[in-house]
Structure 1
Amino acid sequence: MIGIMGLIRTESASATCVAGSLAPDNLPGMAIAADGGTVIFRIEGIALRSVTATVDDYLMNLAMAEEVCSLCRAGGLNDMTHLAG
């Protein structure tokens, strides 16, 4: 079987917060780290459909973590109702 490997690097003003928020969701074959102002996501898998679904989930969670960490940095989490959608 052929393995699939990928790397996504995302610039972030809150890279440590974002990576820390996403790390608990790591499954085998996934790794998330912060390097300065960059969030680094590595993924390995065998099934393309599974890897694609995982990347899709990661990108959605990344956007949410980025928003929450940004609000924390700005001190604006007193009213979180706008995060509910």
Structure 2
Amino acid sequence: MNISGIIRTTHHRAQCIADAVSTDNLSEMRTWAEGNSVITRIASSKVRSVIASMDDYLMNLTVAEDVCEKSIQTDSSGVMR
């Protein structure tokens, strides 16, 4: 049995977020940005693996969103605007 799913979320800086979360992708995951959406496909032969991957991904997504939003608030000298 093969289980797969797609998570699509909308973000102001979708490419930044896709780049950040894709570094933690497992071999059965693929993440990319399309416009203002971040799309991740997860597949596995085990339900528990899909659930664990989704849980980890959603936590990473939250952190990436915070980091990407804060990065646009900081100028090149590191001072918050």
Q: Does TM, normalized by the shorter one, top 0.5? A: yes
Show the counterpart of 1:22. Answer: 21
Show the counterpart of 1:67. Answer: 66
Show the counterpart of 1:9. Answer: 8
* Matching residue's letter, 2:30: A
**CA distance in 2 between partners of 1:65 and 1:46 (Å):** 28
Bigger proportion of residues as helix = 1
* Matching residue's letter, 1:46: S
* Matching residue's letter, 2:22: A
Show the counterpart of 1:82. Answer: none
Residue 60 of structure 2 aligns to a residue whose secondary structure is helix
The 4+ residue runs of structure 1 with deviation greater than 3 A are: 76-79
Show the counterpart of 1:58. Answer: 57
* Matching residue's letter, 2:54: V
Tell me how far 1:78 sits from its aligned partner: 4.9
**CA distance in 1 between partners of 2:19 and 2:2 (Å):** 27
Residue 75 of structure 1 aligns to a residue whose secondary structure is coil
**CA distance in 1 between partners of 2:34 and 2:64 (Å):** 16
Point out where structure 1 has 5 or more consecutive residues left out of the alignment. Answer: 80-85
**CA distance in 2 between partners of 1:75 and 1:13 (Å):** 16
Show the counterpart of 1:42. Answer: 41
Tell me how far 1:39 sits from its aligned partner: 0.3
Tell me how far 1:73 sits from its aligned partner: 1.4
* Matching residue's letter, 1:29: E
